[in-house]
């Protein structure tokens, strides 16, 4: 983006999105997802037995077919199950990464005190890393004329 004028970048983005902004495209995308949807997710709740405890729901995105997806412009760099979590319990979902080194992406929705606990734990900070554009190799993308 730094090597092209803003108008050139805007034109490139407009051209790229012009195919994907039609109702037909979105209906086709919905149909595509519906035909490839894996079995229903099953979540398990842990830690809700004791009064005053905080439950944690652990689900699994293992079956999410991210490595089989291609929307016609290449494979996605990231994909996940995501929904608005309104429960009071924490929520953890591991999902396969698109990286070839066997990494997993772990989606975590927890209270601030539980996240602070993870941040303070040395082993956890070595294991969990933030999901960044660099990890997804998005910083290396450039626009071509």
Under the banding of pLDDT at 50, 70 and 90, the label for residue 89 is confident
Please give the pLDDT value at position 84.
66
Under the banding of pLDDT at 50, 70 and 90, the label for residue 110 is confident
Scored b (16 or more CB within 10 A) or e, 78-111 reads ebeeeeeeeeebbbbbebbbbeeeeeebebebbe
CA–CA separation, 31 vs 25, rounded Å?
10
pLDDT in tens, 2-39: 677 878 878 887 777 777 777 777 777 777 777 776 65
Please give the pLDDT value at position 39.
58
Please give the pLDDT value at position 140.
56
Q: What is the mean pLDDT of residues 117-137?
A: 82
pLDDT in tens, 35-68: 776 655 555 565 656 676 777 777 777 777 777 7
**Confidence (pTM):** 0.52
Higher pLDDT, 53 or 145: 53
């Amino acid at each position: 983006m730094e090597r092209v004028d803003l108008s050139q970048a805007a034109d490139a983005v407009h051209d790229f999105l012009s195919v994907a902004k039609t109702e037909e495209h979105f209906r086709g995308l919905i149909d595509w997802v519906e035909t490839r949807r894996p079995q229903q997710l099953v979540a398990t709740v842990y830690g809700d037995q004791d009064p005053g405890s905080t439950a944690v729901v652990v689900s699994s995105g293992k079956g999410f077919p991210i490595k089989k997806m291609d929307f016609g412009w290449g494979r996605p760099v990231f994909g996940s199950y995501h929904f608005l979590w309104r429960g009071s319990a924490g929520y953890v979902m591991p999902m396969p990464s698109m990286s070839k080194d066997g990494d997993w992406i772990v989606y975590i929705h927890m209270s601030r005190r539980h996240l602070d606990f993870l941040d303070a734990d040395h082993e956890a900070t070595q294991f969990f890393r933030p999901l960044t554009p660099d990890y997804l190799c998005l910083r290396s993308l450039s626009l071509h004329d």
